[in-house]
Amino acid sequence: MSFRDIRGHEKQIGILQNALERNRTPHAYLFSGMKGIGKKTAALAVARALNCQRGRRDACDACPSCLKIDHRNHPDVVIVEPEGQFIRIQAVRDLQDQMKFRPFEGGTRVFILVDADRMNSTAANALLKTLEEPNRNNLLILITPRPYQLPLTILSRCQMLRFSPLSRETVFQYLQERLSIPAEAARMLASSSGGSIGRALEMKDEDYLTLRSQVMDRIFDERMKNPLHALSLAGSFGQDRKGILERLDILRSCFRDALVCKETSDSAALFNQDRIPMIRSFAERLSGTDLLQNIQAVNRAARAIDQNANKSLTLEAMMFKLAFSQS
């Protein structure tokens, strides 16, 4: 996928293309923004443009270099991802070893670090040394939804580019035009995605829609004010980290919608368009302060789970806060 295929990030793409056209690409970028909005796609588009055999401002998507990048077998485009919870020191050392040599085929070797905030401290320190001694034949692109978890010393050595959530209409058009999803379903997914195409693609799965319905039914239930009911909901979240974070994201969207409904009465701004009557009823039961505190409680729990805290204790503590806010 080239720059012309990326939706909703015209300003960011313009900045990248101008740098490419003027041959003013920095030695390191940091692409930040929520998951599933196109940061990795943009990073790969930069790699294609830098190594394309026919263009510079954008890739042709047809030359051998572009096709190799599409198939993830280009020797000069390296994607580094976490192994388990972290990006390990060995992955950064391997990256440093490759940087010692000239690119094999293209003009620039591009290293894309996905979830760069997941580097452990030794890996981050090793990467800092690389950033302090840049090599003109290499480009580092760090991708993260949590730039605040990276050391300031790393942030200061990267050109930062923030990617904002996509508009609801952009997500809707993508789902209809690219995936041929029926209009009604695409509209619901676009509204619930929070501006993330990746999130919308996850949500179209039937298992996810069932899960979403179950979590919403329980959080909107008036029995939620009973701590025992809240604890049973915490227990239903299980122990799988990804599954827990998914459920917490559903909770967050419920409280967010209730707060928007309470403060603005703007139903069109709600993520969960298929649950508007339930959201309105829920918003009437809680104050704006309670809803804001609930969102903060969910955010704290998500950060703790993301950082490997005890899952059961974290969820139980959060659910107690949510229950007492409704009592």
Domains in the chain (CATH in brackets) are 3-162 (3.40.50.300), 205-326 (1.20.272.10)
Residue 87: count of CB within 10 angstroms of its CB: 24
Token representation of residue 129: 């040394």
Token representation of residue 291: 């809803």
Which residue(s) pair with 42 in the sheet?
none
Cα 65–chain centre separation: 28
Residue 294 pLDDT: 92
Distance CA 318, CA 139 (A): 42
Token representation of residue 17: 């293309």
pLDDT tens digits for the chain (327 residues)? 788 888 889 999 999 999 998 888 999 999 999 988 999 999 999 999 999 988 777 898 889 999 999 899 999 999 999 988 889 899 999 999 998 888 888 789 999 999 999 998 899 999 998 898 877 889 999 999 999 999 999 999 999 999 999 998 999 998 988 888 888 888 888 888 888 988 888 888 767 888 888 889 888 887 777 778 788 888 889 888 888 998 999 999 999 999 999 899 888 888 888 889 999 999 988 899 999 999 999 999 998 998 888 999 999 999 888 887 765
Residue 101: count of CB within 10 angstroms of its CB: 11
Distance CA 224, CA 233 (A): 9
Residue 206 burial (10 A CB sphere; 0-12, 13-18, 19+):
exposed
Residue 186 pLDDT: 87
Residue 270 pLDDT: 86
| pTM confidence score | 0.80
Residue 58 pLDDT: 87
Contacts of the segment 228-232: beta carbons below 8 A, 24+ positions apart: 229/323, 230/319, 230/320, 230/322, 230/323, 231/316, 231/319, 231/320
Residue 144 pLDDT: 96
Residue 285 pLDDT: 87
DSSP 138: E
Q: Vertex 48, ends 43 and 50: CA angle to 5°?
A: 95
Distance CA 207, CA 203 (A): 8
Distance CA 234, CA 249 (A): 14
